[in-house]
Structure 1
């Protein structure tokens, strides 16, 4: 598997699993039913941010986006978001993307990384981020309307670099 910078031509290959993950209603609060063009700006970052893809052979198996968590006086803290094609889960794609984002943030001089909204019911992601050194610093109760579990908390997770 290789991780490389996403190109505009990659978006139509990312979008099918992006839309599938959003529609599942378990991990992201993006609006439902967005078209290819409507969703593009939510995932394909502009500088100083970056979007990457994980590629296995000719197939895009996952993607991550990263950049400053906030502009101005908050720009020393990075953030990231991750999506792995549901048909490719369990193969280390999420871990590889997570490690890439941590390395990217460190190389680019960020002080820390903050994930603003990790769904507490997404135990695989919470476990992975903890393995990569992230701490839960707070949980907003009932902030995410999970499709099958109802209202669950959103963790704020941080890793100092």
Structure 2
């Protein structure tokens, strides 16, 4: 698996699984009916200090994607954040872990001092376990901060690690 910068040509491969993940409504705080134009603008980052990547297999198939950026501005711009999506058809192959490791190393190399995830849905136990295994801790949980389509109101974890 290779992780490389995402290009506009990757978007047609990203959009179908991004749309499905967001529409499912169980892991992302985005509107479930997000338009393609809105999603592209939110995912394909171009601002300085930000980056969007894809994980691809040897034949070039996009397996997953991540975006990383400063979590805050001004005097708090030394804290990074990131978001991840793995094509469900390729889950269980280590794509999320590879993207997570890549993002942590990218943030460290860019000079960020820490990384914070603002809204990890507590019922997304695979993601929570992955982030914990990569050194993140739950700093706190916003009670009933997320309306899960099956479980009702559940918490949103704020997760953090120093770099």
User: Could you tell me the TM-score, scaled by structure 2's length?
Assistant: 0.96
- Counterpart in the other structure of 1:141: 143
Counterpart-to-counterpart distance in 1, 2:66 and 2:3? 10
User: Could you tell me the TM-score, scaled by structure 1's length?
Assistant: 0.98
Q: Quick check: 1:159 aligned with 2:134?
A: no
- Report how far residue 33 of structure 1 moved: 1.9
Question: How many pairs align?
Answer: 161
Q: Quick check: 1:101 aligned with 2:103?
A: yes
Any conservation in 2 of the 1:120–1:153 contact (CA below 8 Å)? yes
- Report how far residue 58 of structure 1 moved: 2.0
Counterpart-to-counterpart distance in 2, 1:119 and 1:35? 22
Gapped regions of structure 1 (runs ≥ 5): none
Q: Quick check: 1:16 aligned with 2:42?
A: no
Any conservation in 1 of the 2:5–2:52 contact (CA below 8 Å)? yes
Counterpart-to-counterpart distance in 1, 2:103 and 2:60? 22
SS in structure 2 at match of 1:121: coil
Any conservation in 1 of the 2:24–2:32 contact (CA below 8 Å)? no
- Counterpart in the other structure of 1:2: 2
- Counterpart in the other structure of 2:50: 49
SS in structure 2 at match of 1:99: helix
Counterpart-to-counterpart distance in 2, 1:40 and 1:3? 19
Any conservation in 2 of the 1:54–1:62 contact (CA below 8 Å)? yes
- Report how far residue 32 of structure 1 moved: 2.0
Gapped regions of structure 2 (runs ≥ 5): none
Mapping for residues 3-152 of structure 1, pairs under 5 Å: 3-46=3-46, 47-56=48-57, 57-152=59-154
